[in-house]
Chain A
């Protein structure tokens, strides 16, 4: 089966740096995604890693280690608007070539002034 773990909640201060970890155990791995979801809204794409290493995009960076089944999302210079749920999702290659996403339960980040 598939198993994706991430912390349920995190709190950080405006202007700080926060790292959200994600560990996974899956078969048919085809990449790891991070999505941001504000309450009552749809998930929005943040980053994608398919090879080991760090991908940087502005204030957000994402890291992947396939051998360890581990990823993290790094948010720098936190802003109040970054308060949201951050979803780690693994893309799987299946028999129907769906590349469906299997999501973790999300990490609710609260940014304090």
Chain B
């Protein structure tokens, strides 16, 4: 399968714990995006990488959130000191320089 993959698919954590998600984009794609989606809403942009450089961050991305793409391939999104409001589906997408973004299956986070 050469699509975007994300791991884990589901994560349940207690409030205050740290969590880390991984995204493996389509191999030839140099652009990588993280989005967050809550029930009944469309995805909201969080951050963007071009190769290993993080070029944009949404104001939604508080200082508890950090993302990396160390070698311009896979990316990680870490949430520190999780809060119940962080419960959502976290989606990763990748694209080439053209236009279409391909989404991964998402990581569903539940903070109890």
What is the interface of chain A, defined by CB distance below 8 A to chain B?
4, 31, 33, 35, 41-45, 48, 50, 87, 89, 91, 94-106
Contacts and interface: CB of A to CB of B under 8 A. Distances in A.
Contacts of B72: none
A4 B41 CA distance: 12
A102 B37 CA distance: 12
Q: B interface, by DSSP: helix, strand, loop or mixed?
A: strand
Which size class do B's interface residues fall under? 20 to 34
Interface stretch (B11-19, B61-69, B77-85, B99-107): B99-107
Interface of B: 31, 33, 35, 40-45, 48, 50, 55-56, 91, 93, 95, 99-106
A105 B56 contact: no
A101 B43 contact: yes
